[in-house]
Chains A and B, each alone.
Chain A
Amino acid sequence: MTDFFVNLGKHPGSRKLIKLLKLPIVFPQELSRSTTAWEVRPLENMNIIVGNVRKTQLTSIIAKTLASAGADVHVQGDTSTLMVYNEEGTGYGRIPKQLQSNTLLDEFKPHAFVFDASGMQTASELQVVYDFFQKKIKYLGTCGRMIIIAQHPSTIKDIEAASAARALEGFVRSAGKEIGRNGSTSLIIYVDPEAHDRLEPVLRFFLSYRSAYVSGQPVHLSANVKIHELPYFTRPLDQKIALVTGAARGIGACIARTLAREGAHVICMDRPSENEPCARLADEIHGTLLLCDITSPDAFNSILDFIQKKWNGKLDIVIHNAGITRDKMLVNMTSEIWSQVLEVNLISIIRVNQALIPHIQKDGRIVCLSSIAGIAGNTGQTNYSASKAGVMGYVQALAPTLYDNSITINAVAPGFIETQMTSTIPLATREVARRLSSLAQGGLPEDVAEVVTFLSSPGASGITGEVLRICGGNFIGA
């Protein structure tokens, strides 16, 4: 399932030829990805430019995050900001450099821009954001990152400051579309005042190559969910028991592998008919095989019996990945395929979760697979879109009830991902679908798996009730 145009663009010869012939062909940038286990310093020796409106409480947290992740920091800011970066940087033997002018040298291609806008007080200070990015953005390296950190509008009392904070979201969405062609992504991280200490692992993840296919959207960090364990930066899932439904193939198998890579013991669950691939996967990742049809009314009993017997009823992570499509225009859709899709994609999740939640441990994590179709809608997918939008509603509604259990629940909404399922789409439709994102290419199952694994880690405690799009900045959908 290789992308012809990504490959074509890798060869300078073909690039030149097509330019010469003036063919209207776009070359998507091949994305940089990390497929190895989490490292201590994911940003080792990467140049990152930081700026802010003014020094805030977040300054030292951002400074520490970047230095400990191995980045070489270039600071644009006042003396007090620089002092904070200096203090944190020296502890890691990484003294930051001060950025002298607003323009950069031509050969200098920073990996990322990080702008702390949490100190913004008026709408006119949006000018500072413009000034920071406008001259520099063209120097952003391939597969770079542009991240703005701000306080969430809903937690800001001042009306003008709240409006300005929201304005940044629009800025990030548009900028993401502009920088996507060179493989770069943009993001805004909204941090609640009580959740400052939860920023580090999140910032690490989104600055790294693991977030390759996430772009143009907000992520909200709150302190709603209590924390019992500190985030680890390597092997974050050691000693965790994870259940992955629909694990036999495609994205599910990839998620199972990635969770196992980070130390989790994975229970690979799929229908009995998927016995062979699922067993092979469980064997490969030293996990356990559980054959069970999630739509059967007593599915949760089989799961509970299983974890009771094997793990004394302990479960830490649940990934609801099982899903099906049965596409038909609404006028032709039978009641059978309508209910089939809703049953697998939504109703069984709700039913199984109800039974499992009492058994999920503290610092537990639930991630449900939604879809961009649930946001944007697709012709012939009324059933699918309804089920996937229903999943979003479900995580948003359920999240607050789990605050005290210190369990987070989130959904991820993949866009066009190169899998067996999407390879059956007719060529023309497939080509269009691939190009309909800022990054102008499809994502890989690994891209989804990395995000799901991150959301399953202790460091993602600030994120709950959220829907994270993994769509390369799809043109449709918010």
Chain B
Amino acid sequence: MNTTKSRAVIIGGIRTPFLRAFTDFMRIDTIALGVAAIKGLLERYPIPWKEIQGVIWGGVILPSDYANIAREIVLDMGLPPEIESLTVSRVCTSSLSAITLAASAIERGDVDVMIAGGSDSTSNAEVKLPQSFVHKAAPVVMNSKSTVKDYFRLLASLDFKKDIIPSRPSVRERTTGELMGESAEKMAARNGITRKEQDLFALQSHKRAAKAIETGRFACEMISVDTPDGKRIHTDNIVRGDTSLEKLAKLKPAFAENGTLTAGNSSSLTDGAAAVLIMNEEKAKSLGFTPLASLRSWSYGAVDPKDQLLIGPAISMPDAARKAGMTLKDIDLIDIHEAFAAQVLCVLKMIGNDKFAQNRLGMEKAFGNINPESINVHGGSISLGHPFGATGARMVTTMANELKLTGKSTALLGICGAGGVSAAAILEAV
């Protein structure tokens, strides 16, 4: 244990391109995506490997045989096997969790150098045989005394429909049985968010992301990835720079008849990974790195999934600011994860509502009115894609770079997730 206690700083971050599920990354699993991101990170920020003390990795769709993917990434990459590794799963907030856990460990004085990030390959979600098959078959197969007769009896007992047909990976909320889009659709209706507002926000996301890609803004935080079929992937493939309000308006509602959510104003299933290098500030100095930012505060929370599933950031973001002793005026940049345009707009509506602040935050006044145009300066999950486990690390990286590039001093991040969980963090320029 190192005893020099000082704050944790972000040296930099790298991500793979984010690709729509079942496209070029289809044959690359979440472990391999993680390896690609960390490899890129260590090329961009060369650090003696022996200095790395741990990897904390976020993931949502985990392979059931190797759930601690952080460990598999370390081993697959050929990093020293002594590097400890931990996988965190807190739905879409996973890689932000990984980053704040790493920062905690550093600021506690446990370690000096950590890699944190996350990856997800929705293309590789496992399709499983029904558990009833396992419960029927295992007692026969696992028993050495089973006879041929027992196997025949087992075969006879299997119901094709119930026991054999594999179940699709469920993306429904476990307690409410709702698809996340259905929950967001309800939120939009309850808060009076129109289709037009959502499409406008989606358009903004696509335009900004396309511009960032064109101008090379993401070059400093992205690496190319070689696929098994010999292709080299340089860039994201979800963003549509040429989309327009008219095109978005033509799309059919995706989750409800007469609904307002469409494929155009929702984030899509994505494959990708992102990694961030975090160090003790003193250590960074001694290794000759110039840090981008530090974590001023963070806040995790949760809401009742039956109520407004994705409203959490409206609680966590003001709470993170309260912990930092800041108000909206002190915040220069805001980045909110775009699960759905509707969800972002609902969060902004609640964050500006005095009654909400009184009911849910115990604060007299609302955190403040935030113009949708003022957030997500380089687009977000709608246009860039949303590999669940990687989104938090992507946001931290983009905002940390943005602080450096613009000379601004603070950035507030907010993420919502399944089960009603939420996270927020404030980055501060170093």
Contacts and interface: CB of A to CB of B under 8 A. Distances in A.
A90 B346 contact: no
B356 A44 contact: no
B273 interface: no
A93 B355 contact: no
Contacts of B349: 90, 93
B358 interface: yes
B87 interface: no
Interface of B: 187, 190-192, 304, 306-308, 311, 346, 349-350, 353-356, 358-360
A68 B349 CA distance: 17
B353 A90 contact: yes
B190 A95 contact: yes
A88 B356 CA distance: 9
Nearest to A88: B355
Contacts of A95: 190-192
A87 B355 contact: yes
Given A40-B304, A41-B307, A70-B307, A94 B359 contact: no
A44 B306 CA distance: 9
A94 B190 contact: yes
Contacts of A40: 304, 307
A93 B359 contact: no
A93 B350 contact: yes
Contacts, number: 40
Contacts of A92: 355-356, 359
Contacts of B187: 93
Interface string A89-133: 011111100000000000000000000000000000000000000
B352 to A, nearest CB: 10
Interface residue SS majority, chain A = loop
A42 to B, nearest CB: 12
B191 A91 contact: no
Given A40-B304, A70-B307, A91 B359 contact: yes
A91 B355 contact: yes
Nearest to B358: A91
Given A40-B304, A91-B358, 13 more contacts: A40-B307, A41-B304, A41-B306, A41-B307, A44-B306, A68-B359, A90-B353, A90-B356, A91-B356, A93-B187, A93-B346, A95-B191, A95-B192
A40 B304 CA distance: 9
Nearest to A44: B306
Interface centre among B192, B355, B360, by most chain A C-beta atoms within 10 angstroms, is: B355
B193 to A, nearest CB: 10
Contacts of B359: 68, 91-92
Question: Which 4 residue pairs across A and B have the least CB separation, nearest first?
Answer: A91-B355, A91-B356, A93-B190, A93-B191
A93 B346 CA distance: 8
Contacts of B191: 90, 93, 95
Nearest to B191: A93
A90 B360 CA distance: 12
A68 B355 CA distance: 11
Contact of A93 (B306, B311, B354): B311
23 contacts: A40-B304, A41-B304, A41-B306, A44-B306, A44-B307, A68-B359, A70-B307, A87-B355, A90-B356, A91-B353, A91-B354, A91-B356, A91-B358, A91-B360, A92-B356, A92-B359, A93-B187, A93-B307, A93-B308, A93-B346, A93-B350, A95-B190, A95-B192
B311 to A, nearest CB: 7
Interface in A308-360: none
Nearest to B314: A93
B198 to A, nearest CB: 16
A70 B304 CA distance: 12
Contacts of A70: 307
Contacts of B350: 91, 93
A68 B354 CA distance: 15
A407 to B, nearest CB: 29
Contacts of A68: 359
Interface in A388-440: none
A88 B306 CA distance: 20
Nearest to A68: B359
Nearest to B188: A93
A44 B305 CA distance: 12
A88 B190 CA distance: 13
A87 B356 CA distance: 10
Contacts of A44: 306-307
B167 to A, nearest CB: 29
A446 B360 CA distance: 33
Nearest to A91: B355
Nearest to B359: A91
A92 B350 CA distance: 8
B122 to A, nearest CB: 29
A90 B355 contact: yes
Nearest to B311: A93
A125 B359 CA distance: 35
A107 to B, nearest CB: 16
A197 to B, nearest CB: 14
Interface centre among A87, A91, A94, by most chain B C-beta atoms within 10 angstroms, is: A91
Interface string A38-80: 0011001000000000000000000000001010000000000
Contacts of A87: 355
B303 to A, nearest CB: 10
A12 to B, nearest CB: 27
B256 to A, nearest CB: 15
A40 B420 CA distance: 15
A59 B346 CA distance: 26
Contacts of B307: 40-41, 44, 70, 93
Contacts of A88: 355
A90 B193 CA distance: 12
B189 to A, nearest CB: 9
B374 to A, nearest CB: 21
Contacts of A90: 191, 349, 353, 355-356
Contacts of B192: 95
B358 to A, nearest CB: 7
Nearest to B352: A90
B289 to A, nearest CB: 44
Contacts of B306: 41, 44
A143 B130 CA distance: 40
Contacts of B346: 93
